[in-house]
Amino acid sequence: MRLLVTGGAGFIGANFVHAVVREHPEATVTVLDALTYAGSAEALDPVADDITLVRGDVSDTELVNALVSESDAVAHFAAETHVDNALADPEPFLRANVIGTFAVLEAVRRHGVRLHHVSTDEVYGDLPLDDGSRFTEATPYNPSSPYSATKAAADMLVRAWVRSYGVRATISNCSNNYGPYQHVEKFIPRQITNVLSGRRPKLYGTGANVRDWIHVDDHNRAVWLILERGTIGRTYLIGANGERDNLSVMRTLLRLMGRDPDDFDHVTDRVGHDLRYAIDPSLLHDELHWAPKHTDFESGLEETIDWYRSNESWWRPLKDGVEANYAERGQ
């Protein structure tokens, strides 16, 4: 299979490329990535001899068309992904997430290429904190932020291209990922690298908000399965029953790093902050027999802490700039 991976130099995309090279040597992998502030060619260093990396924008229709014409399938990860950045400046999110997905759709339509579109549970909005409800494939879209609104728009384009043009596409909406190579602007790596660089961790508001954590490798195994065996036109929700409130995650991280669990700062809350996400992954279990392998969140966090300890040269150059941005926003 000739596989085109958009956004393959980002957190989830790079881990996906590593897994494909490791587990599916029959696949030929080309990565298209703009190498924005969130992309890292270094994240692909371990597989550099096994793949082709093309630096370019996913909204560049000519480039995308040329790359898709030489592919059998596309795994579309490329996006602007950080909610706080979207709140500060939504424009790049419209371009990458909406126009970028449009460019991919037009190219796969023209060349009859299989597409898997990677999306997020944030398109469903949020859930009340304590009622035990979960998102399903039938939950109505109700995005809260410019980020989730652009991801929702992209999902809608994919659905329309399947129905109107017979494009062979699937969609997955996954919950919060953690693991190696996640940018230090995101919650878990931000706190780990704050401790490692002598800063105090930062919790938005009271930390009551709940996220449903999944290891990035479990997400990516689901993406591969859907690409291989998913039903065209179908949406799959990916989650690993990993609900935790932010305060608990913060305290666990501090404990695992040998610190006082209360040694952090409460900072300005995110505007419009989604309360709770939770995924019902039954369809994925029942139809594709997927199940997460990383079921012990605490040992997943320990491995992730170890990874950041051992890979300081990867994250250190990013850290000061990210913290300067946060400081400007009072976060």
Report CA-CA distances (Å) from 174 to 155, 178, 287: 13, 12, 17
Catalytic residue among 121, 212, 218, 323: 121
Amino acid in position 24: H
Quote the DSSP letter at residue 123: G
| By the rule CB under 6 A, 78 interacts with ligand NAD | yes
| Residue 147 annotated as catalytic | yes
Active site residue 121: yes
The yes or no reply on residue 77 touching ligand DAU (CB under 6 A) is no
- Interacting partner of 204 out of ligand NAD, ligand DAU, none (Cβ under 5 to 8 A depending on kind): ligand DAU
Number of residues engaging ligand DAU in binding (CB under 6 A): 19
Give 320-323's long-range contacts (Cβ < 8 A, gap of 24+). 322/183, 322/184, 322/185, 322/190, 323/194, 323/199
Q: Which own/partner pairs from 125-132 qualify as long-range (CB within 8 Å, at least 24 positions apart)?
A: 125/274, 126/274, 126/275, 126/276, 126/277, 127/275, 127/276, 127/277, 127/278, 128/275, 128/276, 129/208, 129/210, 129/275, 129/276
106 binds, among ligand DAU, ligand NAD, none (CB under 5 to 8 A by kind): none
Residue 126 interaction partner, one of ligand DAU, ligand NAD, none, beta carbon < 5-8 Å per kind: none
Q: Which of 124, 147, 178, 277 is catalytic?
A: 147
Can you read off the two tokens belonging to residue 213?
Answer: 């954590």
Could you say whether residue 16 binds ligand NAD (CB under 6 A)?
A: no
- Which sign, positive or negative, has the C-alpha torsion 263, 253, 250, 327? positive
Could you say whether residue 34 binds ligand NAD (CB under 6 A)? Answer: yes
User: Cα(187)–Cα(11) distance, rounded to whole angstroms?
Assistant: 13
Q: Is 215 in the site for ligand DAU (CB under 6 A)?
A: no
Q: 16 contacts which partner out of ligand NAD, ligand DAU, none, CB within 5 to 8 A by kind?
A: none
Report how far residue 198's alpha carbon sits from residue 195's, in angstroms, rounded to the nearest whole number.
5
Joined tokens for residue 154:
């992209």
281 binds, options ligand DAU, ligand NAD, none, Cβ within 5 to 8 A by partner type: none
Pick from 74, 108, 118, 171 the residue near ligand NAD by CB under 6 A. 118
* 323 in catalytic set: no
Q: Which of 77, 102, 161, 277 binds ligand NAD (CB under 6 A)?
A: 77
Does residue 2 bind ligand DAU (CB under 6 A)?
no
**Considering the rule CB under 6 A, would residue 243 count as an interface residue with ligand DAU?**
no
Q: How far apart are CA 93 and CA 328, in angstroms?
A: 21
**3 state SS of 114:** strand
**Interface residue list for ligand NAD (CB under 6 A):** 7, 9-13, 33-36, 38-39, 57-59, 77-81, 96, 100, 118, 120, 151, 174, 176-177, 183
**Interface residue list for ligand DAU (CB under 6 A):** 81-83, 120-122, 175-176, 186-187, 190, 202-204, 209, 211, 246, 270, 277
Q: Which residues are catalytic?
A: 121-122, 147
